[in-house]
Structure 1
Amino acid sequence: MVGCQTSQKKNMVASEIVSGEIWNDTDGNPINAHGGGILYHEGTYYWYGEYKIGKTVLPEWATWECFRTDVSGVSCYSSRDLSTWKFEGLVLPAVKNDTLHDLHPSQVLERPKVVYNTTTKKFVMWMHIDSPDYLKAAAGVAVSDSPVGPFTYLGSFRPNNAMSRDQTVFVDDNGKAYHFYSSEDNKTMYISELTSDYLKPNGHFTRNFIGMSREAPAVFKYNGKYYLLSSGCTGWDPNQAELAVADSIMGPWTIIGNPCVGKDADKTFYAQSTFVLPVHGMNNAYIAMFDRWKKTNLQDSRYIWLPLSIANDGSITIPWRERWKLDEVFK
């Protein structure tokens, strides 16, 4: 297996993952899937993300750096080797003719994640839905019969009657799904068990990291324990990542500290967590996915993918690597 395309030359496949460079799809266009996550299904990886295109603006009324582009929708790319990525299109496009719709270009759509429900045979997308002033603070849900869409939007709500902003969804080995989301003005992280169809909360939730202001959650499971990678809340500006561990997914969680190691580790390599991907078919192989946001040109934000390093004693770090190959790191 090889790394992502990183050359700006069209149709050139690189054998390495080179963080911070432009990664092109099979058509030679830059991959546009920000704040995203990856679903592995029947031999194929599907990468979903925010499709950002057009001018980045700072609204005249802004009292903080809420730089934004118009909502275009959620993109999807497919790959069988984590190297060549085919653009599958906008699987959940913006709704341009209804100014009151959650998916209107004037609104906010962030951090889409897709999971597969083996019982209903549906692909379920959760995302952060917001108003331009970020006061709506809701979660949106969409479903599809196919990983490449089209997804049908079901609407938005505040799960467990609480704010929901940066978020992710995790499916455990037993098929139960959980929604992680920054709440209470981003001061507290909620973990909410979902109903068996993954479409809404089932009422069982916990409040975690109370008053610690964590966002950008990324969850993975290793050796029977649950791990949560997150960032602090400093707007578009980078900060120190944090890793926490728990024996139960609902907590309590124990903070381990900053897992990043090497140049600019105290700034999370000038990036922010979005997802941790287990590499299929490889033991204890995980890729930490980050976004390196360009707040004044969000369309040109880049991707940082780094392998987790798991020591013999089970400790986990994320060392900086400018370039690396899957088959050399994971053996």
Structure 2
Amino acid sequence: MSLNPRARRFTILTAAVALGLTGGLTQPVQAAEPSSYIANDTVWRTVDGQEILAQGGNVFKHQGVYYWVGSELTSGQPKAINLYSSTDLENWQFRKAIVKQSGTDGPLSADPADNIWLGRPQLNYNPATNNFVLNFEVNDTSDKRNQLMFATSSTVDGTYTLTSQTPINVNNNTMGDHSVFVEGNDAYLVYVGDHVDASGKKSINRTVTVRKLNEAWTGVAPGAPLFDQWDSGKEAPGLVKANGKYYLFASEKRWWDATATHYRVSDTLAGLASSAPWAKVTHRPTRGGSDDSFGTQFAQIIPVVSTDGGTTSYLFNGDRYSQFFKGDTNNAPGGVGRNAWYKLTFEGTAPVVHGWTGVDVNAAAGTITGNRVANGRFDQEAAGVGVPLWDLSGAQGAASTQNTTGDGRRQLLVNDDVAFTSWVDQEVVLPNGRYELSFDYRSSATMNDLFFEVKGHGGQATKLPLNKNQNAWATKKYTFDVTSGKANIGLWADGQANAWTNLDNVAIWPAG
């Protein structure tokens, strides 16, 4: 899913002052950016170049292979449930559509008809039955709320057979979003439930509920729910076990829009009912930090377990329903891409999502590194709306995102119709070590002064002068050492009336 965001005309390589103990000069590192990584705020594609269409689903691992299932959501209703596979979580291959809205022409034994909801697919392997079990939401025919259908197959990309031609209501009622949590031979349905009062009036998305599935994972087991809380403000619930504790996550109820993520934590599943109240997941960077999960809605926490089982890292799987953004009162994210995955860590028991622009997963080692700059492509919001996760200041001048001519991507634009100065910066948390900074820029001839500064990293601040009258995109690279656990990076622009400069693809990767 790593894409070169823009064809570059030429690269400017800058020798870097080695800040810290060495005190000398080093040569620029040529290969800090990995050849393959998760490129957030881009359109993700398979290894053969096809756009990945998988939203509202889940990723699971079976026999060393990761499988990803999700809905193919177009401008209206979803048209298929697609299956992808990968061995490294970065390079994905399309396997097939395991459900299609095509009458009887799809691979399912009795496919749903056109023009109904076909959402939130969940696929997992049941070791007790040796079957792959799929469940997904369809519409109730009376009021278009969600019911569940279950299907099974002996192979992951085989023909899935419905366990019943009739969708089921969980607890005799319809539902909103749902997911499935697996622990050993047991599976649990995690969902937002609807409620009907004594007068027969239905209220939607009223509870967050966890119920155990039957042994075949094809229906709800009898008995009381493990967790059932009245809460009218949640959607997209999901469970994960991490560091010996159970975490229940959920988004806020904002439909297609991006939202903050909330969580509860307990030592046991049953203990979630008496655990501390919902709390917001922390987002980093905190300076100008995201309060909407970096332009996404929570879908899942993906464990990345090393081959030897000794190391586990976690990915925050976020959906971005940007295809529904219309630039008006319709609430949907305006950023680029339908999916974004971020590193998730824990500070004590509190989960923290790190809004890195690039995420590099070593699936065999169970580790995650990345480009820790947030919104480094300036593609996390619609053009002209703002510049999330960057601080803006200056006597005059307006800094905003701007569409790139010809390719639909975005960049930072700094300009004004009067003389201006502008400072655009971000503080980046960086473990001590050596890093390579890179970025693309271009500028008009009427810039008075233009430089990119690196400071606050434990050594002397460095100003990198940038060319004026740089009409073609150029790339600048710079290596530096961090001894303070962070660095402040920023663009200074001093221009005459109508002068302009663009900045894009800002990255800081570990350099050896």
TM above 0.5: yes
Show the counterpart of 1:233. 253
Once residues 143 and 341 of structure 2 are traced to their aligned partners in structure 1, the CA distance between those partners, rounded to angstroms, is: 28
Once residues 129 and 322 of structure 1 are traced to their aligned partners in structure 2, the CA distance between those partners, rounded to angstroms, is: 34
Q: 1:178 aligns with which of 188, 191, 200?
A: 188
| Contact 2:99/2:111 (8 A) holds in 1 | no
Show the counterpart of 1:27. 48
User: How far did 1:128 drift?
Assistant: 1.8
| Contact 1:5/1:25 (8 A) holds in 2 | no
Show the counterpart of 1:73. 80
Once residues 117 and 219 of structure 1 are traced to their aligned partners in structure 2, the CA distance between those partners, rounded to angstroms, is: 17
Question: More displaced, 44-53 or 246-255?
Answer: 246-255
Once residues 115 and 5 of structure 2 are traced to their aligned partners in structure 1, the CA distance between those partners, rounded to angstroms, is: 31
Once residues 187 and 178 of structure 2 are traced to their aligned partners in structure 1, the CA distance between those partners, rounded to angstroms, is: 13
Normalised to the residue count of structure 1, the TM-score between the two structures is 0.84
Q: Does 1:37 align with 2:54?
A: no
Show the counterpart of 1:275. 300
Once residues 8 and 140 of structure 1 are traced to their aligned partners in structure 2, the CA distance between those partners, rounded to angstroms, is: 40
Once residues 166 and 38 of structure 1 are traced to their aligned partners in structure 2, the CA distance between those partners, rounded to angstroms, is: 16
User: How far did 1:301 drift?
Assistant: 5.1
Question: More displaced, 180-189 or 153-162?
Answer: 153-162
User: How far did 1:119 drift?
Assistant: 1.2
Q: Does 1:85 align with 2:92?
A: yes
Q: 2:134 aligns with which of 125, 135, 148?
A: 125
Larger Rg belongs to: 2
Instruction: Summarize deviations over 1:172-222 as a string: whole Å, max 9, x none.
Output: 14x211001110211111111011111111123145331343111122101
CA change 1:14–1:20 in 2 (3 A) is farther
User: How far did 1:35 drift?
Assistant: 0.9
Instruction: Summarize deviations over 1:67-123 as a string: whole Å, max 9, x none.
Output: x33x3221000111112111001012224269xx87212100111111111111010
Question: More displaced, 259-268 or 131-140?
Answer: 131-140
Show the counterpart of 2:67. 46
Letter in 2 for 1:112: P
Letter in 2 for 1:199: T
User: How far did 1:258 drift?
Assistant: 1.6
Once residues 149 and 249 of structure 2 are traced to their aligned partners in structure 1, the CA distance between those partners, rounded to angstroms, is: 22
Once residues 178 and 260 of structure 1 are traced to their aligned partners in structure 2, the CA distance between those partners, rounded to angstroms, is: 26
Once residues 18 and 163 of structure 1 are traced to their aligned partners in structure 2, the CA distance between those partners, rounded to angstroms, is: 37
Q: Please, which runs of 5 or more residues in structure 2 have no aligned partner?
A: 7-33, 195-203, 327-331, 371-512
| Contact 1:7/1:21 (8 A) holds in 2 | no
Q: Does 1:329 align with 2:368?
A: yes
CA change 1:132–1:325 in 2 (3 A) is farther
Once residues 51 and 132 of structure 1 are traced to their aligned partners in structure 2, the CA distance between those partners, rounded to angstroms, is: 21
Once residues 187 and 85 of structure 2 are traced to their aligned partners in structure 1, the CA distance between those partners, rounded to angstroms, is: 23
Letter in 1 for 2:191: Y
User: How far did 1:316 drift?
Assistant: 1.8
1:142-157 superposed matches below 5 A: 142-154=151-163, 155=165, 156-157=167-168
1:1-331 superposed matches below 5 A: 4-7=1-4, 14-53=35-74, 56=75, 68-69=76-77, 71-96=78-103, 103-131=112-140, 135-154=144-163, 155=165, 156-173=167-184, 175-184=185-194, 185-204=204-223, 205-250=225-270, 251-252=272-273, 253-255=275-277, 257-261=279-283, 262=285, 263=288, 265-281=290-306, 283-294=311-322, 295-296=324-325, 302-311=338-347, 313-327=348-362, 329=368
Whichever structure has more strand as a proportion of its residues is 2
User: How far did 1:226 drift?
Assistant: 0.7
User: How far did 1:256 drift?
Assistant: 5.0
Normalised to the residue count of structure 2, the TM-score between the two structures is 0.56
User: How far did 1:227 drift?
Assistant: 0.5
Instruction: Summarize deviations over 1:51-80 as a string: whole Å, max 9, x none.
Output: 234xx2xxxxxxxxxxx33x3221000111
| Contact 2:188/2:213 (8 A) holds in 1 | yes
Letter in 2 for 1:190: T
CA change 1:46–1:322 in 2 (3 A) is same
Show the counterpart of 1:61. none
Once residues 101 and 192 of structure 2 are traced to their aligned partners in structure 1, the CA distance between those partners, rounded to angstroms, is: 24
Tell me the secondary structure at the aligned position of residue 51 of structure 1.
strand
User: How far did 1:134 drift?
Assistant: 5.6
Tell me the secondary structure at the aligned position of residue 132 of structure 2.
strand
Once residues 322 and 330 of structure 1 are traced to their aligned partners in structure 2, the CA distance between those partners, rounded to angstroms, is: 11
Tell me the secondary structure at the aligned position of residue 249 of structure 2.
strand
Once residues 202 and 84 of structure 1 are traced to their aligned partners in structure 2, the CA distance between those partners, rounded to angstroms, is: 37
Letter in 2 for 1:304: A
Once residues 144 and 310 of structure 1 are traced to their aligned partners in structure 2, the CA distance between those partners, rounded to angstroms, is: 36
Letter in 2 for 1:52: L
| Contact 2:84/2:95 (8 A) holds in 1 | yes
Once residues 236 and 258 of structure 1 are traced to their aligned partners in structure 2, the CA distance between those partners, rounded to angstroms, is: 19
CA change 1:149–1:134 in 2 (3 A) is farther
Identity over aligned residues, as a percent?
Answer: 24
CA change 1:72–1:292 in 2 (3 A) is same
CA change 1:160–1:320 in 2 (3 A) is same
Tell me the secondary structure at the aligned position of residue 49 of structure 1.
strand
| Contact 2:226/2:269 (8 A) holds in 1 | no
Instruction: Summarize deviations over 1:279-318 as a string: whole Å, max 9, x none.
Output: 12162311110011122489x851110111123x343211
